[in-house]
Each structure stands twice: as structure tokens, then as C-alpha cells.
Amino acid sequence: MPDLIPTVVFENDDLFVVNKPFGMVVNNADTTKDMYTLQDWIEESGKIPLGEHYTGDKESDFYKRAGIVHRIDKETSGALIIAKNETAFLALQKQFKEKTIHKKYVALCHGHIKPEEGIIDVPVGRLPWNRRKFGVIADGRESRTRYALEQTYIGPNKEVLSLVNCFPETGRTHQIRVHMRYIGFPIFGDPLYAGRKNSRRDRKFLERHFLHAQEISFSNPLDSQEIKVVVPLSPELVSLLETLTKT
């Protein structure tokens, strides 16, 4: 049995929402052949009939992605929606495209964020000189994140840290991580964007970056009623916060 197992936190006839554990990759790819992914778990769970008796279009995105509507980073934990059928999959994709799905992430960032509320509206794209990283570049895609400071702390290295609620209005790869770095407050433990020295120090206290998809709100494809799912912080994130001193 793989160590990384998601938890179902909401379910109805058309979809379910899981709490993805940190360290779990979402989709299968050429680079994940030796990893147990969320897609593997969905296909094994039997929640969606995707086996040899599947009667739908096996060339569809729904089938190829095992109903996974969106992605979150490997080290990010939290809420992720999976559709059980192609109708729900397309309806949820449309909501993402029309930006009617609302998400809240919780991040612990280096420094005392000021102003304490704001909007980061700068384009994000893959860096031509480092294909593993993204950044703010002129020909990047439109990217917009609202944020609001929740609490400041004194961290384990005697520096100020900010617990921040982030509300991404677009869904670019690494968007929140890049945006917080861009305004000078990188996420705690982020090996790509917090700087090598910071991330090495941080990871003595937390073995991942501190970013969690805490809430997601969307319309139920079946009856258009609003669904809001809240996923508590992962235990290792709570444990770290308990060691910090509020300011």
C-alpha cells in the first residue's frame, strides 16, 4: 500500500473532492512512471468506471485524466476536485475557464507582508533559461492573486513570518509561489523560489513548502447549488505553527 493516500472530504453523484497529501503528484506523465500518483489512486479506487468496460470516449480529456479537473503542485496539500462523469467534468472545466470557481490557499511567507492586503496582477510564464521554474515575464500569461495577512510570527530562525490567505483568480502553474516571491515574501520552505539558503534552513523544521489549498467553492453541475469545501491544515503545518510565537 503506498504511503500517500488522499482523503475524500466531499462526495455526491457527479464529483468528489479530496484532500491531496503533500508529496503526491496529481497526473500521470512520462516523468512519473516510478511514482504513485493521484490518478493511479483514482483508477484503482473504482470511484469512476474507467476500466476495460468503459463505454465513453477513451480519447476524451475526462478519460485520459481520470476525471481530474485541475492540478495543485506536488508539495502543496489540500482540496482538489475530481468529476465522476464527462458531463460534470466539462461543466467544472467551464467554471474554471469563466473564473466562477473560488479558491483560498494558506501560505506561510518570509517577512512581514505590507501592505497587509493587496492584489498581485503580473504575468507568469516558464523561464526560458530554466524550464523547471516560472517567473514574472513580459510574455507570460495573465495572472492575478488577492492576498490578506492573517497573522505574523517570529520564526525558528528569529525572523518575522507572515501567515497569508491567498485567493488566486487565475490558475497558472506555481502562481502563488511566483507571486509571493515577486513582492518579496517567498513561501517558507520553497526550494524553487525562497532561495537556496532560506529553503535549506526552513527544511530543518518543515520538509515541504508551506502552501495548502484550504477552501474551494463551485456550483454543483447537477443542480447549480453552491458547494463549499474546507480542508483543515495538514498536521505537519499545524505542528510548525504551534512552535512559532505570535507577534
**Catalytic amino acids?**
73
Quickly list DSSP for 85-127: SHHHHHHHHHHHHTT--EEEEEEEEES--SSSEEEEE--EEEE
Question: Which one is predicted more confidently, 55 or 77?
Answer: 77
Cell matching residue 148: 490578506
Residue 73 lies in a domain: yes
How many structural domains comprise the chain? 1
- 217 domain residue, yes or no: yes
Residue 149 lies in a domain: yes
Q: Is residue 20 in a domain?
A: yes
Q: Examine the pLDDT at 1 and tell me if it is beyond 70.
A: no
What was the pLDDT predicted at 131? Answer: 87
Q: What is the pLDDT of residue 154?
A: 97
For the domain that residue 179 is a member of, what is the CATH number? 3.30.2350.10
Q: Examine the pLDDT at 130 and tell me if it is beyond 70.
A: yes
Mean residue pLDDT of the chain comes to 94
Q: How confident is the model at residue 57 (pLDDT cuts 50, 70, 90)?
A: confident
Q: Which domain holds residue 203?
A: 7-246
Asked if residue 109 is part of any domain, the answer here is yes
pTM metric for this prediction: 0.94
Q: Which amino acid is at 154?
A: I
What distances in angstroms separate CA 83 from CA 127, 136, 159, 220, 245, one per listed residue? 32, 32, 43, 11, 41
Query: pLDDT, tens digit, for every residue of 178-187?
Result: 999 999 999 9
